[in-house]
Structure 1
Amino acid sequence: MPPRRPRRVLTTSLPARAIVAALTAVAVLLAGTGAAQAAPTPAELEAQIDQMWNQLEPTIEQYNQVHTQLKDNQAKAAALQQQLQPLEAQVDAAMGKISDIAVRQYKTGRVTAMQVVLGGDDPTDMLDQLVVINAIARNERAQIQSVAAARDKLAGDKQTLDALIAQQATQDADLAAKKTQIEGKLAELQKLRQQAYGSSGATGTLKPVACPVEYLGGPGGTAAKKACELIGKPYIWGAAGPKGYDCSGLTMAAWAAAGVTLRHYTKWQWEDAKPVAKADLRPGDLVFFYSDLHHMGMYVGGGWMVHAPTTGDYVRMAKLDGRPITGYRRPG
């Protein structure tokens, strides 16, 4: 039977209760596999593991979103800082010229103008008051004001971005603090998998048929071929290669081989790709599962996909059926 749909969708606030609920459910599962009870069959273990995994995977995809946004905004803030530095230098140089003019005004006895200069509380006030000094040319004043305005706008943009970075950094740190606990529970799931399938943790054949099943060329064909080449790589949550992949990291890496950039988060890939009907599926198309889109794979033809399933498992082929499909998307 297909795994039960998760009842809860994680939000961008990363609520602790979602993690606690998932980990508690895992603990209940583990407690129910003691020696006093009959050993579960491999099929029963797989069903239990899938159920628990569907509660943990949304948190992993949420981490992908927040961590990617944090890195992108940190890069934007660094770029803004680089733009600010020359503007600040221009304003400082312009103010130095104004100071020189003020000194000349003082030496020529025009004390009233000098008093205007000395009376400014800050550079902006000083610029407003210095309009009475005839020695400053009109175009020079306009240039100073233009540079100062550009500087102030960039400084305001950076201040807003810094506040967003601080918020995202808190979310990122909150999830990172839970990482050890989550990975510990995933290790327990892997132990259950080993009980059913041996020390490798693998379930069945990774590539039961030729992959891709259909090859049509073009970017989608290239992406599908790359996904097939990654079969056998281990599932690593939050990873996009080269040692391992999670579900959205796999599709991101596969499409990168075709020169198409996808972001490392299932919902972003859903948003950035175009809808396609099931009847029109081609190798390379993305297949999304569950109402909260927390899992995805890549179609490779013949009703098959390549995906990174769960912790302890490996990138593998699987039939599209068996999970509730939300829709299909085509990048590019």
Structure 2
Amino acid sequence: MKRNGARRAGMLRSLLCLVAAAGVVVTAPATAALATPSPSSVEAQIDTQWNQLEPIIEDYNDVHSKLIKNQAQLKKLSNQLTPLQVRVDVALSSVRGLATDAYKQGSPSAISAMLMSGSTNQLTDKLGLLDQLARHQQAQIAGVAKLRDQYAKSKQDLQLLTDSIAARDADLAQKKKAINVKIDALQKLRIKAYGATGGDDGPLRIGPCPVTYNNDAGGKAARKACSLIGKPYVFGSDGPNTYDCSGLTKEAWATVGVTLDHYTKDQWNEGKSVSRGDLQPGDLVFFFPGSLHHVAIYIGGGEVVHAPHTGDHVRMAVMDKVGPIAGYRRPG
């Protein structure tokens, strides 16, 4: 997150010295050169703007994650409605059968039962049978009513869920549009100072990755993160070719079967707290207390792998140079 502006400023000064040594006279263009922002000032602007932008990106990730969960619930609910409708249809068919029989044969009564009976015992048996049939018919009707209520309630819930998803989808579209505008502005700022490459902050690898070899789940997650070094940063992305900060940590831990949400604040709650002294490869390091809008994966030796911001790539970094640390969590 923090960029090595001083180093770039030094490179710029060296370049100016070489130009002077070559005997190039700088007159009028010098005014234009002074109007171009220096790398250090560009990096300061990027740091300020990005620390305002990344929380919006993580909000996007939060909403998008909930949207995916809602869509899964919607599919599950739709699958549940089909067999429920079958049960309703079967129950209704049974009730219609009883109603048809009563219409054709006439509704039996105690008087007709007595006329058809040859003895008191037979009368008692037939009255009992009639009562049992009546209770059965009532139970069938009650069952149908209950199923109908369940069906209506499920259908209502489905409609509410669908409406909620539609509203979230519209909100996401607006957020994504606003974020893209800000990202384009940042990238133009970088190009203005560094050229079309967008700048660089030294090598993407600054040593062995992971620094410490560990073959447990965390070690494997750290190695996965190391394998993604060089992949471009794209907000809202969790692979396979581009990543943002929480998308990178999500992908790394998915390698060992641990599911993390694509949202820094959710990932904070999905692991147990560890102290700095107990850090192991694979642990998550969160930055910016309060907002928690950036996360990296620890690889040992005081270093992390993270996806910094637009125009950059997944890279190694010294943990304490990324930003103010909010805390440490261990997934799994």
What TM-score, normalized to structure 2? 0.77
Segment drifting more, 247-256 vs 39-48: 39-48
Q: Deviations over 1:274-306 (max 9, x none)?
A: 100010000100011112111111011111100
Equivalent residue letter for 2:92 = M
Q: Of residues 71, 75, 87 in structure 2, which corresponds to 1:90?
A: 87
Residue 139 of structure 1: how far off its partner (Å): 6.0
Q: 1:144 to 1:56 in 2, by over 3 A?
A: farther
Contact 1:223 1:257 in 2 (8 A): yes
Equivalent residue letter for 2:274 = V
Runs of 4+ in structure 1 displaced over 2 angstroms?
34-41, 133-169, 177-182, 194-203
Say if 2:96 is the partner of 1:99. yes
Say if 2:74 is the partner of 1:77. yes
Match of 1:210 in 2: 208
| SS of residue matched to 1:321 | helix
Contact 2:94 2:140 in 1 (8 A): no
| SS of residue matched to 2:163 | helix
Contact 1:231 1:316 in 2 (8 A): yes
Equivalent residue letter for 2:196 = S
Q: Of residues 155, 159, 166 in structure 2, which corresponds to 1:169?
A: 166
Say if 2:227 is the partner of 1:224. no
Match of 2:39 in 1: 42
Segment drifting more, 90-99 vs 197-206: 197-206
Q: 1:329 to 1:141 in 2, by over 3 A?
A: farther
Match of 1:330 in 2: 330
Segment drifting more, 186-195 vs 300-309: 186-195
Contact 2:63 2:172 in 1 (8 A): no
Q: How far, CA to CA, are the matches of 1:270 and 1:143 in structure 2? A: 52
Question: How many residues are treated as equivalent by the alignment?
Answer: 282
Equivalent residue letter for 1:228 = C
Contact 2:250 2:262 in 1 (8 A): yes
Q: Which runs of 5+ in 1 are unaligned?
A: 4-33, 113-132
Residue 184 of structure 1: how far off its partner (Å): 2.9
Higher fraction of helix: 2
Equivalent residue letter for 1:255 = W
Residue 187 of structure 1: how far off its partner (Å): 1.9
Q: Of residues 283, 287, 310 in structure 2, which corresponds to 1:289?
A: 287
Equivalent residue letter for 1:44 = S
Equivalent residue letter for 1:331 = P
Q: How far, CA to CA, are the matches of 2:242 and 2:2 in structure 1? A: 26
Q: How far, CA to CA, are the matches of 2:209 and 2:148 in structure 1? A: 55
Residue 140 of structure 1: how far off its partner (Å): 7.1
| Identical-pair percentage | 54
Q: How far, CA to CA, are the matches of 1:217 and 1:263 in structure 2? A: 24
Q: Which runs of 5+ in 2 are unaligned?
A: 4-30, 110-129
RMSD: 2.7
Q: How far, CA to CA, are the matches of 1:325 and 1:155 in structure 2? A: 51
Equivalent residue letter for 1:207 = R
Could you say which structure has the larger radius of gyration?
A: 2
Equivalent residue letter for 1:185 = K
Q: Deviations over 1:20-47 (max 9, x none)?
A: xxxxxxxxxxxxxx95854332222112
Q: 1:140 to 1:276 in 2, by over 3 A?
A: farther
Q: Deviations over 1:104-160 (max 9, x none)?
A: 111122299xxxxxxxxxxxxxxxxxxxx8474756755764575466346535634
Equivalent residue letter for 1:325 = I
Q: How far, CA to CA, are the matches of 1:219 and 1:262 in structure 2? A: 14
Q: Deviations over 1:165-217 (max 9, x none)?
A: 52353233123124234313312211222333343223221111111111111
Q: How far, CA to CA, are the matches of 1:316 and 1:177 in structure 2? A: 30
Match of 1:17 in 2: none
Q: 1:226 to 1:309 in 2, by over 3 A?
A: same
